Amino acid sequence: MNSKLLGITKSILFIDPTVEDYQILVRGTNPNIKIVILDLYRDGIEQITETLVRNQEVKTVHIVSHGSAGCLQFGNSQLNIDSINHSYAEELETWSVTNILIYGCNVAASDTGTEFLEKLHQLTGANIAASARPTGSAALGGDWELEVTRGEIEVALAFSDRVEHQWEHILAEFEQQPYFYQVISGQLRIYNPLTGDY
């Protein structure tokens, strides 16, 4: 787990390293937000919990990950309706933060997404913001609005306006397959890293 935790911080952004070109997102993050890049080979929820235990002053958590309705991918694990109830409930109850902002496609979509947000809100006691739509590049049908909330979110989004123009992907998880969606020279291309094919 790589981090830029210097001194006292009140906001941390956790980013899954499988997010395409995540370095662009890192460069476009508000300078007042500290950044933690999760270890791909470790449980992501455990990593976040460990960081929050060491940084009790943190009030806002931003999470960037591939998502689908009621599901987020973290490192080598998933946070979904099943795991939030059976695997991670005790850890999530220790997250003494005020706000959790989730950047991932369709996380709040459908009844599954609604149940997921409600459970996360209950366990953490935090205000939650997520999206029921694709998150990311407008060229791929995405945006950066986190329009579904539980509680009152009174903090700004993590990224500067330039990210909307520079990051040419969306944070989608399609049938658990690691296809990368990218705009190249104005054309949508789909890349499968397992085969190396476009």
User: What pTM does this model have?
Assistant: 0.84
Q: Looking at the predicted structure, is the pLDDT value of residue 8 above 90?
A: no
Sign of the torsion formed by the C-alpha atoms of 126, 112, 45 and 130: negative
User: What was the pLDDT predicted at 165?
Assistant: 86
Structure-model confidence comparison of residues 174 and 78, the more confident one: 78
* Region of poorest pLDDT, from 6-20, 41-55, 122-136, 144-158: 6-20
Burial profile 3-41: b = 16 or more Cβ within 10 angstroms, e = fewer: beeeeebebbbbbbebbbebebbbebbeeebbbbbbbee
Instruction: Please report the DSSP string for 113-141 in residue order.
Output: HHHHHHHHHHHH--EEEE-SS-BB-GGGT
Q: Looking at the predicted structure, is the pLDDT value of residue 1 above 50?
A: no
Q: Which of 66, 61, 55, 54 is nearest to 22 (CA)?
A: 66
Q: What is the C-alpha separation between 82 and 53, in angstroms, rounded? A: 24
Residue 195 CB burial class (10 angstroms; 0-12, 13-18, ≥19): exposed
Q: Residues 80, 148, 46, CA angle at the centre, nearest 5°? A: 35
Are 130 and 118 in contact, with CB atoms under 8 Å apart?
A: no
Are 13 and 35 in contact, with CB atoms under 8 Å apart?
A: yes
Question: Could you report the per-residue pLDDT of 100-110, keeping only the tens digit for each?
Answer: 999 999 999 99
User: What was the pLDDT predicted at 74?
Assistant: 84
Question: Could you report the per-residue pLDDT of 141-191, keeping only the tens digit for each?
Answer: 999 999 999 999 999 999 998 888 899 999 997 444 444 444 455 554 444
User: What was the pLDDT predicted at 81?
Assistant: 94
**Residue 101's beta-bridge partner residues?**
62, 129
User: What was the pLDDT predicted at 187?
Assistant: 52
User: What was the pLDDT predicted at 178?
Assistant: 45
Question: Could you report the per-residue pLDDT of 43-76, keeping only the tens digit for each?
Answer: 999 999 999 999 999 999 999 999 999 999 887 8
Q: Looking at the predicted structure, is the pLDDT value of residue 192 above 60?
A: no
Strands of the 148-150 sheet, one edge to the other: 2-3, 34-37, 11-15, 60-64, 99-103, 127-130, 148-150
Sign of the torsion formed by the C-alpha atoms of 108, 111, 112 and 115: positive
φ/ψ (deg, to 5) at 149: -135, 155
Pairing label, strands 180-184, 2-3: unpaired
User: What was the pLDDT predicted at 9?
Assistant: 63
The domains of the chain, with CATH numbers, are 2-191 (3.40.50)
Q: Looking at the predicted structure, is the pLDDT value of residue 2 above 90?
A: no
User: What was the pLDDT predicted at 179?
Assistant: 46
